[in-house]
Amino acid sequence: MQTHCPVHTTINLIDSKWKILILRDILQGPQRFGVLKRSITGVSSKMLSQSLREMEKDGLINRTVFSEMPPHVEYSLSELGNSMRPIIMAMESWGLQYLDKV
């Protein structure tokens, strides 16, 4: 049985800590793969690639290929992904409050 719970839907879209951290970084502006890899401590290249592909498929991020030498790719938030900004910002705010209390 498939549920239509909006919380479940949101969790399915950002179902790993890597996706949350990718969104956190891309909120700052378009990012290249290498920059994301260095910024997200502990993520493997394979997991980062897989997460980026899934997020692109789900419509949360855009992948732009630049055909210059050497070629490179940038990831940016789509309009849908940008609508998650308040969620990520709320998580940041809550995390700061928690760290202050612990």
Structure confidence at residue 2 (pLDDT): 57
Give the pTM. 0.87
Q: Which fold has domain 6-101?
A: Arc Repressor Mutant, subunit A (1.10.10)
Question: Taking a C-beta distance cutoff of 8 angstroms, is the pair 33, 73 a contact?
Answer: yes
The token pair that represents 97 in the structure block: 């409050």
Which residues does residue 62 pair with via DSSP β-bridges, in sequence order?
76
pLDDT (tens place) for every residue of the chain, 102 residues total = 456 888 888 888 888 889 999 999 999 999 999 999 999 999 999 999 999 999 999 999 999 999 888 889 999 999 999 999 999 999 999 999 999 998
